[in-house]
Chain A
């Protein structure tokens, strides 16, 4: 598979996300409409979506979305999958020919569960087992790429404007309770489908607008915990940091956000004792996980999502609420486009996460 030729392609981008906290499912139309409005922020070299709640019939299976360069890659990958998983269903993801979308890889989908004996012999929990398998697949099998691997969710992405990608995947045919989208403006022409956002790991998906000046520091830090940053993207770093803190270290999401975009030291100095101790500890222990430089990201996972800006808000991010629905986007217009009269609309401060959780999870 044609991988990213250059390391760390800087890019400007658009992001958008919608969550209905009641769990009500809705089609991909809104998210396509929202991201489409920000066409100016993309340049047709990458677009993608993450959709949650779209596979209720396989809600307990890991849904693997795969890109293959060719049949051989598919065969090798499927052999790998068969070896480690019981596959409940497999087949190509339906797509529609769109004139602007070219050079698409083979796009397949598998609903799988880890084989009991493999799980037992690995000594891993199933999520970690799946994560290891995804990393191995991406690393070892040429021409194959795991687009997403979470339960009851999937990522749909490719090279093109996001609305064309949405059309290509016919996302209006899917219904989910949460959608995120990304329109990319890379400064070169990588033409690699895997490089588009969202970046995913299990059910975690990240769309991201920005460029991390701390990339080298963050990556070396993640290395220490076994994360190999192969994609050369900042999005990958953000995803792995979230995974490390929330999944592996079991930290509250808010805290993880405060590690990635912490308050300034002088702000910490002015905090009450408890808070000061907490933030001092966070920055002292996790300094290398601070994501420095401009970014706005939307990270989604089965239970909800979080939108986060860098601490001095060098990239745009707007949030709105209407009833149970939470909107986050790079631009206010992209929210108004699909929700003309929100109950509340605001610009989150740098480093202040906007967190939306499914009500059933909260309860």
Chain B
């Protein structure tokens, strides 16, 4: 059957620059580039190109450019090229379209419709280069109040907390969905930065236990790699209920990615598919969640905070309230632009709500119920820069999870082909030939650089607002104004319009 699907990209090779060195040939796991023995020239099979830009980056003469295939269908605002292509693909495959990374559709990005405040005259801005600027963040359950004895000595003992030097964590990405070198990059960067990374639902590879102090060990519906040592290996536990990229459905790691190391870590046979059920089959209601939270606390002797991660869905505020009351110490909320290693395209692109709305709604709901101060709230799902972080915290988050930006830092070029396992950047792959492309020394360094850069920017912005401690930004919606938003959107975000 001939494929009707057009090549998505064209590989442009500047023959004046190409030296036939074949670096592109050697770097492309999709076999796009090849040496034509007949004339000794390097050529390309465009149809295989996913625009991961490995070749573009590695070409020593900058001879390569990948462009979108300019071939268009007859203009049709409804039947777009994308719509037609998807039909063609499904007509050929008879299958659900799988994709990865976050929702790329043109939904409003509220971050970009929110602007920040700065001090002028009446309140001095603070120069972070001269004055202390504090970003230290404690995540975990807080009592309503501290008790003191008659001599004014503290009686209350705090439950375990996560201490972050910067209110940024690397969110859950499993060993299996990403490579061990990617995991190690995250773990080492988290350790160096004094923050945390999250194992995802893939268990913890034996070589990563040494980063336990900066690890959040996730427990998801598949319970892969969950055992007593695993639960006790990290600084915190996270029960994954849902993921922003695919609310309501489970996960699927194809057997070909389950090599010896993944198999040993996940405790499943080599080559077998790792299927995470859509729900936890021991959680069909909120009281079941409470049981699991306390089961995990018991298993770790109440030494670790327990986080519950949910996808941002319509009634996220009420769900978050329930989770807080079920005993979670941290609630992580993953917006619909959050990434994934593999998800059905229709789910990714159509299910869930934006994190900006979700975090505002959750913060307000918990505040109204008088329990906001008891739990920590973490915002996730496409935090792209430090301004997004500032806005998330001002809307009410205690900290953010980043994943896509972390992956971009270590090489991801957003080709959205994680699900194929042929990640040319050594991230979303288990192919040893590709995995080694990500040197964890470099990965960790780039992550540290990214977070450090954001840290500087956050401090600058805070200083501009006349704030010298991040806790004074939490829920401080006075510092936000909306631009180009409807009154309803402003109300949900709990912010005023610019000029108000």
Interface pair B122/A217, CB less than 8 Å apart: no
**Main DSSP-derived SS at the B contact region:** loop
Measured CB to CB, the closest approach of chain A to B408, in angstroms, equals: 30
- Binary contact readout B151-176 vs A (1 if CB under 8 angstroms, 0 otherwise): 01110101001000000000000000
A281 at the interface (CB under 8 A from B): yes
Measured CB to CB, the closest approach of chain A to B125, in angstroms, equals: 9
A63 to B466, CA, bound (A): 38
A293 to B125, CA, bound (A): 9
Measured CB to CB, the closest approach of chain A to B21, in angstroms, equals: 52
Interface pair B122/A214, CB less than 8 Å apart: no
Interface pair B466/A213, CB less than 8 Å apart: yes
- Report if A265-B367 is in contact (Cβ < 8 Å); known contacts: A224-B373, A252-B148, A290-B471: no
Interface pair A217/B472, CB less than 8 Å apart: yes
**Residues of B close to A285: CB separation below 8 A:** 142-143, 145-146, 156, 158, 373
B362 at the interface (CB under 8 A from A): no
**Residues of A close to B368: CB separation below 8 A:** 223
- Binary contact readout A145-180 vs B (1 if CB under 8 angstroms, 0 otherwise): 000000000000000000000000000000000000
Interface pair B123/A293, CB less than 8 Å apart: yes
Which has the most chain B C-beta neighbours within 10 Å: A249, A280, A292? A292
**Residues of B close to A283: CB separation below 8 A:** 138, 471
Interface pair B124/A314, CB less than 8 Å apart: yes
- Report if A10-B123 is in contact (Cβ < 8 Å); known contacts: A213-B466, A214-B472: yes
Interface pair A294/B146, CB less than 8 Å apart: no
B473 at the interface (CB under 8 A from A): yes
Interface pair A214/B373, CB less than 8 Å apart: no
Interface pair B474/A284, CB less than 8 Å apart: no
A255 at the interface (CB under 8 A from B): yes
Interface pair A217/B471, CB less than 8 Å apart: yes
Interface size range on A against B: 35 or more
- Binary contact readout A8-24 vs B (1 if CB under 8 angstroms, 0 otherwise): 10111000000000000
Measured CB to CB, the closest approach of chain B to A220, in angstroms, equals: 4
B439 at the interface (CB under 8 A from A): no
**Residues of B close to A265: CB separation below 8 A:** 134, 136
Interface pair B473/A217, CB less than 8 Å apart: yes
Which one of B97-105, B415-423, B476-484 contacts A?
A: B476-484
Interface pair B373/A292, CB less than 8 Å apart: no
Interface pair B476/A312, CB less than 8 Å apart: no
Interface size range on B against A: 35 or more
A285 to B156, CA, bound (A): 11
Interface pair A264/B471, CB less than 8 Å apart: no
- Binary contact readout B359-378 vs A (1 if CB under 8 angstroms, 0 otherwise): 00001000110111100000
- Binary contact readout B364-406 vs A (1 if CB under 8 angstroms, 0 otherwise): 0001101111000000000000000000001010000000000
Interface pair B123/A281, CB less than 8 Å apart: no
**Residues of A close to B142: CB separation below 8 A:** 284-285
Q: Which of B363, B373, B476 contacts A215 (CB 8 A)?
A: B476
Which has the most chain A C-beta neighbours within 10 Å: B146, B156, B396? B146
A251 at the interface (CB under 8 A from B): yes
A217 to B471, CA, bound (A): 8
A61 at the interface (CB under 8 A from B): no
Measured CB to CB, the closest approach of chain A to B189, in angstroms, equals: 21
- Of chain B, the residue at the smallest CB distance from A291 is B472
A287 at the interface (CB under 8 A from B): yes
Interface pair B122/A251, CB less than 8 Å apart: no
Q: Which of A213, A224, A226, A255 contacts B119 (CB 8 A)?
A: A213
A249 to B143, CA, bound (A): 12
**Residues of A close to B156: CB separation below 8 A:** 281, 285
Measured CB to CB, the closest approach of chain B to A336, in angstroms, equals: 27
- Binary contact readout B189-202 vs A (1 if CB under 8 angstroms, 0 otherwise): 00000000000000
Which has the most chain A C-beta neighbours within 10 Å: B367, B469, B479? B469
**Residues of B close to A312: CB separation below 8 A:** 126, 131-132, 468
Measured CB to CB, the closest approach of chain A to B491, in angstroms, equals: 16
A284 to B123, CA, bound (A): 26
Interface pair A223/B367, CB less than 8 Å apart: yes
A189 at the interface (CB under 8 A from B): no
Interface pair B367/A224, CB less than 8 Å apart: yes
- Report if A213-B154 is in contact (Cβ < 8 Å); known contacts: A220-B475, A292-B472: no
Q: Which of A213, A274, A288 contacts B467 (CB 8 A)?
A: A213
Interface pair B474/A278, CB less than 8 Å apart: no
Q: Which of B132, B143, B153, B373 contacts A288 (CB 8 A)?
A: B373
A117 at the interface (CB under 8 A from B): no
- Report if A294-B466 is in contact (Cβ < 8 Å); known contacts: A215-B476, A224-B372, A285-B146: yes
- Of chain B, the residue at the smallest CB distance from A285 is B142
Measured CB to CB, the closest approach of chain B to A237, in angstroms, equals: 11
A10 to B122, CA, bound (A): 6
Interface pair A292/B146, CB less than 8 Å apart: no
B465 at the interface (CB under 8 A from A): yes
A129 at the interface (CB under 8 A from B): no
- Report if A281-B134 is in contact (Cβ < 8 Å); known contacts: A216-B475, A224-B367: no
Measured CB to CB, the closest approach of chain A to B474, in angstroms, equals: 5
Interface pair B465/A213, CB less than 8 Å apart: yes
Measured CB to CB, the closest approach of chain A to B239, in angstroms, equals: 23
- Binary contact readout A332-347 vs B (1 if CB under 8 angstroms, 0 otherwise): 0000000000000000
**Residues of A close to B124: CB separation below 8 A:** 294, 314
A319 to B153, CA, bound (A): 28
Shortest 6 CB-CB contacts between residues of A and residues of B: A287-B471, A214-B472, A216-B478, A292-B472, A216-B476, A10-B122
4 extra interface residue pairs, beta carbon distance < 8 Å, beyond A220-B476, A223-B367, A251-B148: A213-B465, A213-B472, A283-B471, A287-B138
A-B contact pairs, 18 of them (CB 8 A): A213-B465, A214-B472, A214-B476, A217-B471, A217-B472, A217-B476, A218-B472, A220-B367, A220-B477, A221-B373, A224-B370, A281-B158, A282-B146, A287-B474, A290-B471, A293-B123, A312-B131, A312-B132
B residues near A (Cβ < 8 Å) are 119, 122-124, 126, 131-132, 134, 136, 138, 142-143, 145-146, 148, 152-154, 156, 158, 161, 363, 367-368, 370-373, 394, 396, 465-469, 471-479
